[in-house]
């Protein structure tokens, strides 16, 4: 894993200087503290900071082919790079290193842009083809590794983080107003937008080509759910599934440095650790987060799993003092979040690095792959009840069910409206009934009161869902409703929220976080499984649970999902909250930022303070005010025009 950045000049208007590249790499050198490198010619500048994982003594970047005509700067890991080496050598390619970077170069020489089709891994790279005067930017299929770009006068900038682009001095950070609204509606900007005006993300499985002054984009892969295989006994599927997951874990154990693993109290990470042990990785060190607030703590469960598996466990205790680090976390994340789960993840990465570990395997992506959140279960419940929606007693039944599950009864009317009366319209607009739709819209009634008049005026003429409703819906059209929801999840929440936290928090401390559940061959296999093996009645991750029997504790196999969460009120809005909270939410600070109405924010804070713990009102107001806090802090960070200071 590394950090990359670069500039390409289009025409004659942009002079590239090494100092620009040095600033761009310096601001993201936390991603690669083991070395820096640069390449410049009259049209392009490439920069790189390295986190040495494979072939530690070699593999410095930017790297060139044999005759110096093609150059690459690359971030990621290609797990199948050795599979291609002999074949390329038989075609007269000559290698200088053992690292995976060089494989990409030679595959590009053979196959051009289609080199990505044979790569198994997580990556973001730029290839400069000097004879063709052509730059290729590419990103892995699932969007594990980030890559940002922006057009400027006379050229284009790119980098692993948006702050690298600002450090060039050619573009200044400015919040994208539509992305601010996207954040409150969806919890993330709709890709390819970032939080910053004019700064875009290369899409997952995306390629961006800059050639002859033109910028073109396309996607080389998409997840398909067609042709599910129903002709096998469940036991055969379980055997295949376990074999493929084990193969993914084995690939991702590739390293010349120590590998550890994150271990929570859930089945996903526990299964990864069990397979690491099963594959002979005997001295696995695992890392976990405990909370001093028992409502969020899983310590007894993951400690029991570590004992069962025979692995060493290091537990970091998360406390309210972590709240003071939120500005630093936002500096790394470059976007706010609706609730502060990123903060413990950020500290856990530092905790891991302090113990001499550079690489961790995680259970990220499994929930999104199978659809195991409550919202997917609710979608199925309403699909089952849809034919009976006119029967007396349905509404009363659902209210009783909501109470039993401890959910706010106030929210049931929204669910009835969405699932019974708006279903057809939502399916036509989005391609399926989005599982998170109720969460998307939960803050919308509160937004007019907190947006400034200038903000409301700018938003009035914009299609705020343009990217979402305009996406290619063909993969959803013939899919089972559950699979259609999973496809939408793979295009929205997974890359823009889950994987953003995963990458930016880990790389903030120079930690490479690997995600075996998102190996694209494994993902493709799961996509084609019968839906009943993913969600069996209301039993989530059915095939994973069956495959894990005997490998992990039975209590974990049967355990229902315990969502990872972090306190908001006690960490940020109680009497012991950090001093910056009052500073950035002050009337003067709100007015200077210009996004929010100061009176609306004051009123929202009053309502939050008066609300009762455990109510739907408290939940929505916590999300709202914490979101305002995040936008305000990000605005303060942007006052350093290059993002170089906090």
- pTM for the full predicted model: 0.95
Per-residue pLDDT tens for 544-553?
999 999 999 9
User: Is the predicted pLDDT of residue 642 greater than 80, yes or no?
Assistant: no
CA-based end-to-end distance of the chain: 24
Mean predicted lDDT score pLDDT of the chain: 91
The whole-number pLDDT of residue 230 equals 66
Q: Which two tokens stand for residue 529?
A: 């499984």
The whole-number pLDDT of residue 339 equals 87
Per-residue pLDDT tens for 335-382?
998 889 999 999 999 999 999 999 999 999 999 999 999 899 988 988
The whole-number average pLDDT for the span 172-197 is 96
The whole-number average pLDDT for the span 123-140 is 97
User: Is the predicted pLDDT of residue 593 greater than 90, yes or no?
Assistant: yes
481 in a domain, yes or no? no
Given a contact cutoff of 8 angstroms between Cβ atoms, the answer to whether 521 and 10 are in contact is: no
Identify the bridge partners of residue 155 per DSSP, sorted by sequence position: 9, 152
The whole-number pLDDT of residue 255 equals 78
SS3 36: strand
325 in a domain, yes or no? no
Given a contact cutoff of 8 angstroms between Cβ atoms, the answer to whether 70 and 108 are in contact is: yes
The whole-number pLDDT of residue 601 equals 97
Quick one: what percent of the chain has pLDDT higher than 90?
73
Taking the CA atoms of residue 273, residue 277, residue 278 and residue 279 in that order, the dihedral angle to the nearest 10 degrees is 100
User: Is the predicted pLDDT of residue 78 greater than 90, yes or no?
Assistant: yes
Quick one: what percent of the chain has pLDDT higher than 70?
96
Which CATH number does the domain housing residue 108 bear?
Answer: 3.60.20.10
Taking the CA atoms of residue 124, residue 493, residue 428 and residue 448 in that order, the dihedral angle to the nearest 10 degrees is -120
User: Any idea which residue has 């002709």 for tokens?
Assistant: 231
User: What single string gives the DSSP state of each residue in 385-452?
Assistant: HGGGTTSTTHHHHHHHHHHHTT--GGGHHHHHIIIIISHHHHHHHHSS--TTHHHHHTTGGGHHHHB-
The whole-number pLDDT of residue 248 equals 97
SS3 511: coil
Tell me the torsion sign for CA atoms 527, 529, 531, 535.
Answer: negative
The whole-number average pLDDT for the span 477-483 is 91
User: Is the predicted pLDDT of residue 583 greater than 80, yes or no?
Assistant: yes
125 in a domain, yes or no? yes
The whole-number pLDDT of residue 327 equals 95
458 in a domain, yes or no? no
Write out 55-101 in H/E/C secondary structure: CCCCCCCCEECCCCCEEEEEEEEECCHHHHHHHHHHCCCCCCCCCHH
The whole-number pLDDT of residue 59 equals 67
Point out the least confidently predicted range of 203-207, 278-282, 314-318.
Answer: 278-282
User: Any idea which residue has 């019968």 for tokens?
Assistant: 530
User: Is the predicted pLDDT of residue 646 greater than 60, yes or no?
Assistant: no
Per-residue pLDDT tens for 208-249?
999 988 999 999 999 998 766 667 888 999 999 999 999 999
Per-residue pLDDT tens for 217-226?
999 999 998 7
Given a contact cutoff of 8 angstroms between Cβ atoms, the answer to whether 332 and 191 are in contact is: no
User: Is the predicted pLDDT of residue 417 greater than 90, yes or no?
Assistant: no
User: Is the predicted pLDDT of residue 56 greater than 80, yes or no?
Assistant: no
Distances (CA, A) of 70 to 63, 84, 528, 544: 8, 19, 38, 43
354 in a domain, yes or no? no
The whole-number pLDDT of residue 225 equals 87
Q: Which two tokens stand for residue 540?
A: 């989530």
Distances (CA, A) of 447 to 143, 450, 459, 572, 609: 30, 5, 12, 21, 18
For residue 350, which of 331, 366, 367, 329 has the smallest C-alpha distance?
329
The domain of 149 spans 2-219
The whole-number average pLDDT for the span 49-58 is 67
The whole-number pLDDT of residue 254 equals 84
User: Is the predicted pLDDT of residue 42 greater than 60, yes or no?
Assistant: yes
* Structural domain count of the chain: 1
Q: Which residue has the higher pLDDT, 403 or 324?
A: 324
195 in a domain, yes or no? yes
Length reported for the chain = 646
For residue 125, which of 65, 71, 191, 83 has the smallest C-alpha distance?
71
Q: Which two tokens stand for residue 393?
A: 């007693």
User: Is the predicted pLDDT of residue 398 greater than 90, yes or no?
Assistant: no
Point out the least confidently predicted range of 160-164, 462-466, 639-643.
Answer: 639-643
The whole-number pLDDT of residue 163 equals 96
What whole-number distance in Å separates Cα of residue 50 and Cα of residue 31?
A: 7
201 in a domain, yes or no? yes
452 in a domain, yes or no? no
What whole-number distance in Å separates Cα of residue 147 and Cα of residue 159?
A: 6
The whole-number pLDDT of residue 615 equals 85
User: Is the predicted pLDDT of residue 271 greater than 70, yes or no?
Assistant: yes
CA angle 346–248–64, rounded 5-degree value: 75
């Amino acid at each position: 894993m590394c950090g990359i950045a670069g500039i390409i000049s289009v025409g004659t208007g942009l002079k590239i200087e090494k100092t620009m590249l040095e600033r761009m790499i310096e601001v993201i050198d936390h991603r690669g503290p083991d070395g820096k490198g640069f390449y410049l010619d009259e049209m392009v500048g490439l920069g790189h900071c390295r986190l040495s994982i494979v072939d530690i003594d070699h593999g410095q970047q930017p790297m060139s082919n044999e005759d110096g005509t093609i150059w690459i700067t690359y971030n990621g890991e290609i797990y199948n790079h050795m599979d291609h080496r002999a074949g390329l050598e038989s075609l007269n390619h000559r290698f200088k290193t053992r690292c995976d970077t060089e494989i990409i170069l030679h595959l590009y020489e053979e196959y051009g842009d289609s080199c990505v089709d044979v790569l198994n891994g997580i990556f973001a790279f730029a290839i400069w083809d000097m004879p063709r005067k052509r730059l290729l930017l590419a990103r892995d299929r699932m969007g594990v590794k980030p890559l940002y770009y922006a057009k400027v006068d006379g050229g284009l900038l790119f980098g692993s983080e948006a702050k690298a682009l600002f450090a060039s001095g050619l573009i200044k950070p400015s919040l994208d107003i539509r992305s601010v609204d996207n954040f409150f509606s969806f919890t993330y900007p709709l890709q390819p937008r970032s939080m910053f005006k004019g700064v875009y993300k290369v899409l997952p499985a995306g390629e961006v080509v800059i050639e002859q002054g033109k910028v073109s984009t396309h996607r080389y892969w998409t997840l398909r759910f067609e042709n599910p295989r129903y002709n096998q006994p469940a036991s055969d599927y379980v055997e295949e599934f376990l074999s493929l997951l084990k193969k993914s874990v084995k690939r991702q154990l590739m390293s010349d440095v120590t590998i550890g693993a994150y271990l929570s109290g859930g089945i996903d990470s526990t299964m990864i650790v069990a397979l690491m042990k099963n594959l002979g990785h005997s001295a696995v060190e695992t890392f976990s987060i405990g909370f001093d607030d028992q409502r969020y703590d899983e310590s007894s469960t993951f400690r029991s799993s570590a004992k069962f598996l025979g692995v060493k466990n290091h537990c970091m205790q998360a406390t309210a003092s972590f709240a003071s680090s939120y500005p630093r976390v936002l500096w790394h994340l470059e976007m706010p979040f609706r609730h502060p789960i990123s903060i413990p993840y950020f500290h856990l990465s530092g905790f891991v690095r302090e113990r001499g570990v550079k690489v961790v395997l995680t259970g990220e992506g499994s929930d999104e792959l199978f659809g195991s959140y409550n919202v997917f279960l609710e979608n199925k419940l309403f699909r089952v009840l849809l034919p009976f929606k006119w029967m007396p007693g349905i509404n009363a039944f659902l209210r009783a069910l909501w109470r039993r599950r401890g959910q706010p009864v106030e929210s049931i009317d929204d669910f009835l409206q969405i699932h019974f009366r708006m279903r057809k319209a939502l399916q036509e607009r989005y391609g399926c009934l989005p599982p998170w739709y109720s969460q998307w819209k939960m803050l919308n009634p509160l937004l007019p009161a907190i947006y400034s008049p200038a903000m409301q005026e700018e938003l009035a003429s914009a299609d705020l869902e343009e990217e979402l409703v305009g996406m290619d819906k063909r993969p959803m059209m013939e899919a089972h409703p559950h699979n259609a929801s999973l496809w939408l999840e793979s295009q929205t929440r997974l890359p823009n929220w889950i994987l953003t936290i995963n990458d930016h928090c880990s790389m903030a401390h120079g930690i490479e976080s690997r995600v075996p559940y998102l190996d694209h061959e494994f993902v493709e296999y799961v996509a084609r499984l019968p839906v009943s093996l993913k969600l069996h009645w209301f039993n989530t991750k059915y095939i994973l649970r069956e495959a894990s029997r005997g490998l992990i504790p039975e209590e974990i196999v049967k355990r229902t999902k315990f969502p990872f969460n972090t306190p908001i009120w006690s960490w940020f809005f109680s009497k012991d909250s950090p001093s910056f909270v009052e500073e950035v939410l002050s009337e003067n600070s709100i007015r200077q930022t210009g996004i929010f109405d100061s009176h609306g924010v004051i009123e929202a804070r009053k309502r939050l303070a008066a609300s009762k713990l455990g109510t739907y009102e408290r939940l929505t107001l916590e999300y709202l005010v914490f979101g305002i806090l995040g936008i305000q802090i990000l605005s303060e960070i942007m006052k350093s025009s290059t993002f170089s200071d906090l």
